A = this chain, B = another copy of it.
Amino acid sequence: MNHFTFYSPTLFAFGDGEEQHTGALVKRFGGTKVLLVYGSGSVKRNGAYAAVTGSLQKAGIPFAELSGIQANPRSGKVYEGIELVRREGCDFLLALGGGSVIDTAKAIGFGAGYHGDFWDFFTGEAAIETTLPVGVVLTIAAAGSEGSDSCVITQEEGNLKWGCPKTDLIRPKFAVLNPRFTCSLPAYQIACGAVDMLAHICERYFTNTPDVGLTDRLCEALLKTILDAAPKAVALPEDTASHADLMWAGMLAHNNLCGTGRVQDWASHQIEHELSAFYDCAHGAGLAVVLPAWMDYVCGHDPMRFARFAVNVFGCEMNFARPETTAREGIARLRDFFRALGMPTTLSEVGGNPADIPAMVAHRSEKPGGFPFGNFVPVTPADMEAILRLTAG
């Protein structure tokens, strides 16, 4: 186990109806005027918007609104939000939605107090030292941004989908988690969320750090929970127990509890960012394509770790004579699981074209840090191209 700092100072209020305490929570964490950030009409249809704005009014907290945030959130809405915060004098960001809405709120939070372009924090020209506080009312279980230290935005100029450097400063002050809001989501979106969570754990699980049995087991506990809950949640809108499992698992998959003391990988996320930048596919859908391909490509680096994954997560029988057989079986089971959830597993299924692969690799190389990326196996341009070729089906 390596040295680590773990600081997850977010207050989580979990359960049906907890959104009624939103106003009190904003007050508790010092907010006096809120910018309410949300996406489309779904939060109006499922009652979340009415409950949250009612709670703010009851607490006597005025608010401005920024709506229309879409999946793969874009820089335009961040600039718009920064303007709004300054004009309206907001001192608290309240995200009502999923990862895209939360990440937009986070970026507005650290961009609003900065004299230059908020994108400077993504390019490394500036470092985040202060931010407006962010609160969350979660309506989509997926990204884990409600408890995380990360934020991913697509800069429209250049179509760059990048994460800002991770910092505990941008962890939300509170997150209200009502699983009922996720029950009415389309099956495809629930499935995308489950893939995103699984990927967040896998990015931490596949490591070269020795002596990490505790976090290995925590990762496996979460993975098994998601494998168990996701098919039920997708098929049964009324099964609140599985929706609740997914919602809490999504947070725990990405607040870095599972990553403490271990070097993490994150190559699959880096590759997926190019997929969604090129084809604007859902992040979870892109990950369902990339993650098994990445696994196939790097399995030989540590077959025993992949065999552990197969046995402890999927319940495969260990082939002690040929561990790599078991390892490959685990990867196949993951791909089958994604397919059963209705997820794509090939490039063409997300609207991709193998002819674009060199352009995606070239686009990636423009990012600071460029190549190689990933820590389990460092990925070079040739590796990235090979992994993407494996997705061509």
| Stoichiometry (number of copies) | 2
Q: List 16 A-B contacts (CB under 8 A).
A: A3-B14, A4-B12, A4-B14, A5-B11, A5-B13, A7-B10, A7-B12, A8-B9, A9-B9, A211-B244, A213-B229, A217-B220, A218-B218, A221-B221, A244-B261, A248-B260
| A351 close to chain B: CB less than 8 A | no
Is A241 among interface residues, defined by CB-CB distance under 8 A?
yes
Q: Mark A1-34, 1 if CB is under 8 A from B, else 0.
A: 1111111111111111010000000000000000
CB of A58 closer than 8 Å to a CB of B = no
Cα separation A50 to B252 with both chains bound (whole Å) = 37
Chain A residues at the B interface, C-beta cutoff of 8 Å: 1-16, 18, 210-211, 213-214, 217-218, 220-222, 224-225, 228-229, 241, 244-245, 248-249, 252, 257, 260-261
Kindly state the separation between the CA atoms of A245 and B221 in the bound complex, as whole angstroms.
17
Identify the closest chain B residue to A249 (Cβ): B214
Q: Which residues of B contact A260 (CB under 8 A)?
A: 14, 248
A260 vs B13: C-alpha distance when bound (angstroms): 11
- Smallest CB gap from A3: residue in B: B15
Nearest Cβ in chain B — how far from A148, in angstroms? 15
Bound state CA distance, A327 and B393, in angstroms?
48
Bound-state CA distance A210–B5 (Å) is 34
